[in-house]
Structure 1
Amino acid sequence: MIRAVLHAGARAFGRKYAYDTDYMHEVIDTSVGAGLALTLFPMLSQHRGPQVARAVWFGALLASTLDGDCGPCGQLVVDMALEQGVSADHLLAAIEARFSDAGDVGLGFQFAQQAIARSYDANEFADTIRARFGDHALVAASFAAATGRFYPVFKRGLGQGHACQRIDVGGRLGEVA
């Protein structure tokens, strides 16, 4: 029964975002416990913080995801961001590393890049996020920076990783910088 519910959820997610969920079905078929764990991961990874900083969160998630993979997972993040009203222009600018044109998406993107870079220097982007949006936004951006790489890395571990692709941002193709 639980397995059937998990499969139904994976199929619905795949239909909603035109996303290949084969890896989810493989996990569910292998272990119901692992399938449940996979469905619970978003409780951690999707902690988005305050609405006012949503573009920052998506920027951090996008940078982390693209660090792990620039294929379907990156496209999924862009599609979800657009669905939430994040600016297509800002998303495209961040993907193309035109950060002066990327607004708050660029702020989150650069924050995540610096957090991922193993630098122990002060993260000036963190200071900006905290000053403009508060500690809750910084915590949410930190979750996004840490967890965005999970799915691409997990999929590669299962042998279901995908090659890089150009990201479609509202009908415009962005080349990952």
Structure 2
Amino acid sequence: MIRALASKRLDAAERELGESHDYMRHILNTSLRAFLRFAKIFPISDYRRGLPADAYHVARIVAARDEDCGTCVQVEVNLGVRDNVAPEILQAVIDRRPDQLPANLQIVYEFVGALVGKTGNDEELRQAIRRDYGEEGLVELALAIGASRFLPSVKRTLGYGKACSLVEVRLPEHR
């Protein structure tokens, strides 16, 4: 019964986000216990209370892009579209054109890039994040970045993240 309910929820998520969740089905079908533990990431992954939607989604896209070459990034873009982030902001992030972002979002983009690239030049950017969004905003960014990297890693580990795909700013069609 729990598997059936979880499977229906995965079907709904695929329709909403426009991408396959086969790797999650793999976990569900292999071990219900593992799936129930795995599912605990979702309340963390979508936690956003004070951070503006555009900053939140810029961070998630940049973080996911470092771990994935397509479908997980597309899900992140689709979530941004769903949360009414301006298409030109999403497109600038996809195109790796931070110069086309407003200054506060350039900082988010560069901060996440410094973190995932382990460049060591993140402290000044972290201070700018604190200035713009406060300590709570920094915490929300930390959760968004961590979760956005976790899911593609699980997917790739299970062998479901093999093909690269073109990422587009589009609203997934409801099936």
The alignment's TM-score, normalised by the length of structure 1, stands at 0.87
Assess, with a 3 A threshold, how the Cα gap between structure 1 residues 69 and 122 changes in structure 2: closer, same or farther.
closer
Residues 1:87 and 2:75 are matched in the alignment:
no
The match for 2:160 is: 160
Task: Kindly state the Cα deviation for residue 161 of structure 1 after the two structures are TM-superposed.
Answer: 0.7
Task: Kindly state the Cα deviation for residue 109 of structure 1 after the two structures are TM-superposed.
Answer: 2.3
Higher relative contact order (CA 8 A, sep 6+): 2
The match for 2:70 is: 71
User: Does structure 1 conserve the Cα–Cα contact (< 8 Å) formed by 2:69 and 2:165?
Assistant: yes
Supply the distance in 2 between the matched residues of 1:17 and 1:118 (Cα, whole angstroms). Answer: 30
The match for 1:102 is: 101
Q: How many residues were matched structurally?
A: 170
Runs of 4 or more consecutive aligned structure 1 residues displaced over 6 Å after TM superposition: none
Task: Kindly state the Cα deviation for residue 47 of structure 1 after the two structures are TM-superposed.
Answer: 1.9
Identity %: 28
Supply the distance in 1 between the matched residues of 2:163 and 2:26 (Cα, whole angstroms). Answer: 20
* Root mean square deviation, CA, Å: 1.8
Residues 1:169 and 2:144 are matched in the alignment:
no
SS in 2 for 1:169: coil
User: Does structure 2 conserve the Cα–Cα contact (< 8 Å) formed by 1:71 and 1:162?
Assistant: no
1:31-69 alpha-carbon deviations (Å, 9 max, x no partner): 111111222111222222315x22111111111100001
SS in 2 for 1:14: helix
Residues 1:12 and 2:9 are matched in the alignment:
no
The match for 2:60 is: 61
User: Does structure 2 conserve the Cα–Cα contact (< 8 Å) formed by 1:27 and 1:35?
Assistant: yes
Supply the distance in 1 between the matched residues of 2:122 and 2:81 (Cα, whole angstroms). Answer: 31
User: Does structure 1 conserve the Cα–Cα contact (< 8 Å) formed by 2:74 and 2:168?
Assistant: yes
User: Does structure 1 conserve the Cα–Cα contact (< 8 Å) formed by 2:114 and 2:120?
Assistant: no
The match for 1:149 is: 149
The match for 1:175 is: none
SS in 2 for 1:167: coil
User: Does structure 1 conserve the Cα–Cα contact (< 8 Å) formed by 2:112 and 2:145?
Assistant: yes
1:67-89 alpha-carbon deviations (Å, 9 max, x no partner): 00121110010011011011110
